[in-house]
Amino acid sequence: VPELPEVEHLAQQLRAAIVGRTVERVQARRRGMLNIPPDEASARLRGLVRGVERRAKEVVVRGERASAWLHLGLGGRARLADAAEAEGAPGALVFGDGGALLLEDVFMGHLHVLSPDETEARWQRSGPEPLASAFDARALAQALAQKGRASLKAALVDQACLAGIGNLYADEALLIARLHPLRRAGSLTDDECARLHAALCQILREAIAAGGEEGYVDLHGTPGRYRPRIHRQPRCGRCGSATQALRVSGRMTTVCPACQPAPDGARDA
């Protein structure tokens, strides 16, 4: 599932590829891909692409009068192609120059065309961006404190608490910070919050630079090079110990019993 690093990498590639081009129409073959009928989506978005940004796990394509919010869902990918190929794609932006941006293999993803007001509302809906300059260890402590007795893992993947983190990078950051996913979110000391903040920034920057994790394929067909240190790995990438798999809030979670001491009374939740 594409998380912050993959979506950030995609936003960077799209910025270079589509800013300044003109959207002619929006197409969707799959039901539920668009939030409004295709004709309406096309009418709203038609015009110049002014910018491309990322918010949480979505790419935001800024047009002249509306924005397109792209979510790759599970295993989806974005690809540039000729407009003729847009017909068969689950979702597509077709440009006036004969090219198109296709969304393919999208399961549970979407292409939503939103007005400026709707865009602002959706922008505010997610929690703080972990790589924003204003987001320091204290801001992380505040975000986690709001989650109180929830597990650390559940708090990290909650998009209203923190934007863009999913299953994979939560496990990676918790290993680097040497924190157990079943710790209570509100129980971290200042030192532990500082460690987790540093770990999140390190892992996310590293993964962006690597073009995302190995299962992700970028806009130009290149697979990511980020290899997980612990998520779904048999051995810990820090110390080499055998890892344990547990379910935390219904999510498959991998921990290292040597690097991540379990809290008292912790059970699989």
> Contacts with Zn ion in 47-106 (CB under 5 A)?
none
Would you call 2 a catalytic residue per the annotation?
A: yes
Give burial (CB, 10 Å; 0-12/13-18/19+) of 191. Answer: exposed
Among 111, 162, 174, 259, interactor with Zn ion by CB under 5 A: 259
The answer to the question of residue 242 lying near Zn ion (CB under 5 A) is no
Cα(121)–Cα(115) distance, integer angstroms: 10
Torsion, Cα 171 176 180 184, to 10 degrees, reads: -90
Among 146, 238, 251, 269, interactor with Zn ion by CB under 5 A: 238
- Of 164 and 181, nearer to Zn ion (C-beta) is 181
Catalytic residue among 3, 129, 172, 192: 3
Catalytic residue among 25, 44, 55, 57: 57
Q: Is 4 helix (H, G, I), strand (E, B) or coil?
A: helix
The answer to the question of residue 111 lying near Zn ion (CB under 5 A) is no
Cα(148)–Cα(13) distance, integer angstroms: 38
- For residue 14, the tally of other CB atoms under 10 A from its CB is 22
Would you call 57 a catalytic residue per the annotation?
A: yes
Q: Which two tokens stand for residue 226?
A: 């980020």
The answer to the question of residue 256 lying near Zn ion (CB under 5 A) is yes
Candidate ranges 5-13, 55-63, 212-220, 229-237; the one touching Zn ion (CB under 5 A):
229-237
- Of 57 and 229, nearer to Zn ion (C-beta) is 229
Written as one string, the DSSP assignment of 178-202 is T--TTSBGGG--HHHHHHHHHHHHH
Candidate ranges 140-148, 185-193, 235-243, 244-252; the one touching Zn ion (CB under 5 A):
235-243
The answer to the question of residue 258 lying near Zn ion (CB under 5 A) is yes
Annotated catalytic residues are: 2-3, 57, 251
